[in-house]
Amino acid sequence: MTSPTSSSFTRRAFATVLVAAGAVVLDACTGSGSAGASGSARPSGSPVTTAAASSAASGFNKKKYSTTDPASIWVVVNKKHPMQPKDWAPTDLVHPAVANVNGQPVRKAAGSALVAMFAAAKAEKGLTLSLQSGYRSYQTQVRAYAAAVAANGRAKADRVSAHPGYSEHQTGLAVDISAVPAAHSLQTAFGTTAHGRWLAANAHRFGFLLRYPADKVRVTGYDYEPWHFRYIGTELAQYLWRHKVKTLEEFFGVSGGTSY
């Protein structure tokens, strides 16, 4: 596995590859109904934990929802843990009433939370946000990953594109968010904008987690993506925020990393 660090040129190149593959989603790395059954342990890899995560977990019911059931709002999807089954698709996709660059749906609970979050950004700071990308199917990821490999080779493709079945976007709970008017869309500089800063400081209020923090690349397996948020529900998102735990891997003791 090569270094997970990728240049803005690589991100733009992969965006072009996605379009060529018939995928209108233009993010660089990954791509409610029933919240799922009770939690179950991950069978492979070494779990990731931190002192903060261990302390935070005390008194919190980490088994309320599953971390392996793809229908669960707490499902953990990364390079060690694919969707099970890999071609799973949500049954409660909706198109939220927000600006939507690529016209993609998300799961119902995530959509409702997105509407509320965008409204708050507008009311509190006068910021207008748009949904850049949402749900991506298994078949879309098959085409996108194959096109990335054909264009750049497997090693480089693995730096910017998830293997089919390993993309958070397939859960219908991951969203890429951009500013209106567009500014630094799908670029790390988005995190320095007023829109990016507001999201980083407030997404937890609405049940979202900044999924790929800058200082957790070795845990999540992906570069810093200040535009990529994952819906996990307000109970968990606010709990993680209060206890300063940044990743699902660390909180649930689930293995992660930069290699498959």
Could you give the residue numbers annotated as active site? Answer: 225
Residue 53 near residue 245 (C-beta atoms within 8 A) = yes
Residue carrying structure tokens 């909706």: 94
* Cα 209 from Cα 48, distance rounded (Å): 18
CA atoms within 13 A on the CB side of 29: 29
DSSP 3-state percent helix, strand, coil across the chain (nearest 5): 40, 10, 50
DSSP secondary structure letter of residue 47 = P
CA nearest neighbour of 68 among 88, 54, 46, 50:
88
Residue type for position 26: L
Identify each DSSP E strand in 138-238 by its residue range: 174-180, 208-210, 228-231
Peptide bond into 43 cis (omega under 30): no
* Cα 52 from Cα 110, distance rounded (Å): 27
* Cα 26 from Cα 3, distance rounded (Å): 21
Peptide bond into 70 cis (omega under 30): no
